[in-house]
């Protein structure tokens, strides 16, 4: 069983990722969940993490609150995609489970230093603020983390919050730059992959047919989430970004990509938050990330549907 910490800013697609993780106890040992400011402010992402836990019967799961703001910049949020609460689309009770008093950054440092070196995987579904702060607090974690699997960035596909930048990187580019420079082995799920995972009607219908409460709630969330892309781009469904991170841990063979160098733009006003991916290895810079580019979309939706059915 792989030990993982999930750092997240729910977000309907974050919620789907958490559901996939909770449904996979044979493969994954979730040590804790860290909330970070991202799609909505921290108070709401923390609330939303706990809503998903309670929906999935995981109210004993340790939940920690992390950074309230990006390291340097003014907070940017995405209510235009995720709604006012960040998790619009289903009526659910306010969570009753408590947040742990330990700060998420302390939890990350303590856990990575306590567990055997090379055993903890960090899964990030939002801005990289908490991980960057943990690295600043205890640089030795870089040599102990097994792998950091992240949703963020885009290269041939461009950006989704600016023409050049994907949201998670754009929100805290300084944090992303610190993480990519840290030496932690990184697996990156960019928009190039996630845009291949549209929540098409036939795919969502299979989840709806599961007939369970968690499936029904997920379908409500997806219906809200996908309207942004459907209205703006006329697509059938929206891109399911964050569950790629968990799907990779369960079935890495669904994904393919290339180990190459990635640098984060932090200086240019026009392209800040851009992930400069040296796909063609022209820079001579050292590869620092496994950058995914292709996904078996049907295999991905089969996995998601089968696992959500277990909840
Ligand atoms: C990423 O940004 C958020 O809106 C989603 O939850 C995902 O993590 C996609 O750019
Ligand atoms: Ca997210």
Atom in ligand 1 nearest the alpha carbon of residue 81: 4
**Which of 154, 158, 167 gets mutated to test ligand 1 (max ligand atoms within 8 A of its CB)?**
167
Residues 6 or more apart whose Cβ sits within 8 Å of residue 158: 164, 191
- State whether the beta carbon of 125 lies less than 6 angstroms from ligand 1: yes
Q: Residue 13 and residue 304: Cα distance in Å, rounded?
A: 12
Task: Give the per-residue pLDDT at 309.
Answer: 98
**Which of 125, 162, 198 gets mutated to test ligand 1 (max ligand atoms within 8 A of its CB)?**
125
**Which of 222, 242, 245 gets mutated to test ligand 1 (max ligand atoms within 8 A of its CB)?**
242
Ligand 1: centre distance to CA 116 (Å): 31
Atom in ligand 1 nearest the alpha carbon of residue 11: 6
Structure tokens at 280: 């063609």
Q: Residue 306 and residue 148: Cα distance in Å, rounded?
A: 25
Task: Give the per-residue pLDDT at 183.
Answer: 98
Structure tokens at 130: 């908490």
- State whether the beta carbon of 13 lies less than 6 angstroms from ligand 1: yes
Task: Give the per-residue pLDDT at 97.
Answer: 98
Atom in ligand 1 nearest the alpha carbon of residue 12: 6
Residues 6 or more apart whose Cβ sits within 8 Å of residue 259: 287, 289, 290, 291
80 as an active site residue: the answer is no
Q: Which run of H or of E encompasses 33?
A: strand 28-35
- State whether the beta carbon of 78 lies less than 6 angstroms from ligand 1: yes
Per-residue pLDDT of 240-278, as tens digits, reads 999 999 999 999 999 999 999 999 999 999 999 999 999
Structure tokens at 189: 């799920």
The answer to whether 221 and 249 have CB atoms below 8 angstroms apart is no
Closest ligand to Cα 166 = 1
Instruction: Collect residues with CB below 5 Å from ion ligand 2.
Output: 9, 11, 14, 125-126, 242
Angle (nearest 5°) at CA 271 between 265 and 277? 50
Q: How much is the ipTM here?
A: 0.99
Ligand 1: centre distance to CA 191 (Å): 9
Give me the percent of the chain exceeding a pLDDT of 90.
Answer: 100
Could you tell me which residues are beta bridge partners of residue 29? 3
Ligand 2: centre distance to CA 283 (Å): 30
Mean pLDDT by 10 residues, the chain (311 residues): 98 98 98 98 98 98 98 96 96 96 98 98 98 98 98 98 98 98 98 98 98 98 94 94 98 98 98 98 98 98 98 97
Per-residue pLDDT of 132-146, as tens digits, reads 999 999 999 999 999
């Amino acid at each position: 069983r792989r030990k993982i910490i999930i750092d997240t800013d729910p977000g309907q697609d974050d919620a789907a990722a958490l559901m996939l993780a909770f449904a996979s106890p044979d493969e994954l040992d979730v040590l804790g969940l860290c909330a970070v400011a991202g799609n909505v402010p921290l108070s709401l992402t923390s609330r939303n993490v706990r809503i998903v836990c309670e929906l999935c019967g995981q109210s004993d799961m340790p939940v920690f609150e992390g950074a309230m703001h990006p390291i340097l910049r003014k907070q940017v949020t995405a209510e235009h995609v995720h709604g006012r609460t960040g998790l619009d689309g289903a009526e659910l009770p306010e969570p009753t489970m408590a947040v742990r008093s330990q700060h998420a950054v302390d939890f990350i440092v303590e856990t990575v230093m306590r567990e055997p070196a090379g055993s903890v995987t960090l899964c990030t579904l939002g801005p990289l603020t908490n991980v960057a702060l943990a690295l600043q607090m205890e640089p030795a974690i870089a040599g102990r983390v097994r792998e950091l699997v992240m949703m963020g960035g885009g290269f041939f596909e461009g950006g989704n919050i600016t023409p050049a930048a994907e949201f998670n990187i754009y929100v805290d580019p300084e944090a992303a730059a610190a993480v990519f420079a840290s030496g932690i082995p990184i697996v990156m799920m960019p928009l190039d992959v996630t845009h291949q995972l549209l929540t098409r009607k036939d795919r969502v219908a299979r989840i709806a047919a599961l007939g369970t409460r968690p499936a029904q709630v997920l379908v409500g969330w997806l219906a809200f989430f996908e309207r942004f892309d459907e209205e703006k781009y006329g697509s059938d469904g929206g891109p399911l970004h964050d569950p790629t991170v968990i799907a990779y841990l369960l079935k890495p063979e669904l994904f393919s990509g290339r180990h190459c160098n990635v640098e984060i733009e932090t200086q240019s006003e026009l392209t800040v938050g851009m992930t400069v991916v040296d796909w063609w290895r022209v820079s001579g810079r050292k590869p620092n990330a496994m950058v995914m580019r292709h996904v078996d979309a049907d295999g991905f939706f089969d996995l998601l549907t089968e696992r959500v059915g277990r909840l």
